[in-house]
A and B are shown apart, each in its own frame.
Chain A
Amino acid sequence: MSKYVMNKFIHHVNMNEAAEKEYKHNPRAYLEKWEKGEKLSLTREEREALATKDYGRLYALGAHPFTLWSFTEAVWAHEVPREQLVKDYKEKAAKAGYPDFKT
């Protein structure tokens, strides 16, 4: 079930302006705070990927691609030009192929 929790966090950050701001400011601290309020837990690998905004890893772990791209753009676009972000995201996704994103 932890793939579900990983998606829940991505979804939460993507859809809430305040969460997006806080996560961008300090991803690891915000994730820790959020997870404390959850009944279900992330795996260590999922937690590390979320704490480092590692979209390539999240994609490989089966994050829902539709929400993952939206989230990735939201949390990275202020640091990396969009064109470069799209290119890097696609290269990383290509390495992982098409992981099953069913929760």
Chain B
Amino acid sequence: MAKLVTIIGITHNPFMPRLFQQPQQPPGAAKVKERIAMMRNKLAAAKPDVLVTIGNDHLHQFFMDNMPPFMIGKMESYDGTFYDEIREFGLPTCKLPGAPNLSEHILERAMDEGVDFSYSNELTIDHSIIVPMLFVRPEMDIPIVPILTNCIAPPMPRPKRFYEVGLVIRKAIDTMPGDRRVGVLVSGHLSLEVGGPRQFERRLMDPEFDADAVGWIAHGDLKSAAEGCTPPRMMRAGNMTTGYLNFLMMMGIANSSKPSYAEGLDAGFPAIPFFSWDQPS
């Protein structure tokens, strides 16, 4: 059977790859780069053969004419990214190898377990997967199984559901035939605002939410997470704070076990999440 060898949770801030190339960088950038390098080393040390990459689509592949709660890609390879992301963020176009057999396995196994993923044979991925890959595996040489979520267009699946889907993904990984080493790479954020009155502020949007949200994952506390992630509370923390929900899926994949690393980094940006399980139990 396959072995889950690492789980990493990280930011997908799309401005950072370009920012980190510039000669003038804000004072906190060095700390962020140091954490990213740490996660890159953790991933390399785990030697995964395949990566299940989880993030939320940002109204690129998904739109409100047909909005799936959760989708799995099952292609031989994936293109990234879209015209508007190249224009706005200066992200590079890229091509990532896929692992369609493993996508099929997760899709089928999840259906057995009561989770009916949408699926796609023509999926382009956006910064929610591109940016974490640029950070922790810039070679982009490990085949991926992309799983996309809706945490941007309300109504969204409930916090508990993100967790439950995570548990099912974990079961599917644990029953994969063969002896592959599987890594999981999840992206999301803590309190964050985009396109609202508080966007582009170089500070923690809601330090109290950030501390709670990191704590729920550090303690595997689904009950408090579900109670703390009501739509009004998340909106108060910032209009795009719902991107945190991806990390509840990560908590499900970890079976609520204690992470090796959990941090909401304050480096003069909205809080930057870093999580890892180095030897997931």
Contacts and interface: CB of A to CB of B under 8 A. Distances in A.
B202 to A, nearest CB: 12
Interface range for A: 20 to 34
B153 A103 contact: yes
B64 A66 contact: no
Contact of A66 (B83, B154, B195): B195
B148 to A, nearest CB: 15
A4 to B, nearest CB: 6
A63 B4 CA distance: 41
Contact of A73 (B83, B88, B235): B88
B261 interface: no
Contacts of A89: 199
Nearest to A100: B154
Interface range for B: 20 to 34
Contacts of A59: 195
B154 A14 contact: no
Contact of A74 (B60, B88, B239): B88
Contacts of B88: 70, 73-74
A90 B199 contact: yes
Interface of A is mostly: helix
A54 interface: no
A97 B70 CA distance: 30
B82 interface: yes
B200 interface: yes
A84 interface: no
Nearest to B201: A90
A86 interface: yes
B114 interface: no
Interface of B: 58-60, 63-65, 82-84, 87-88, 152-155, 194-200, 235, 239-240
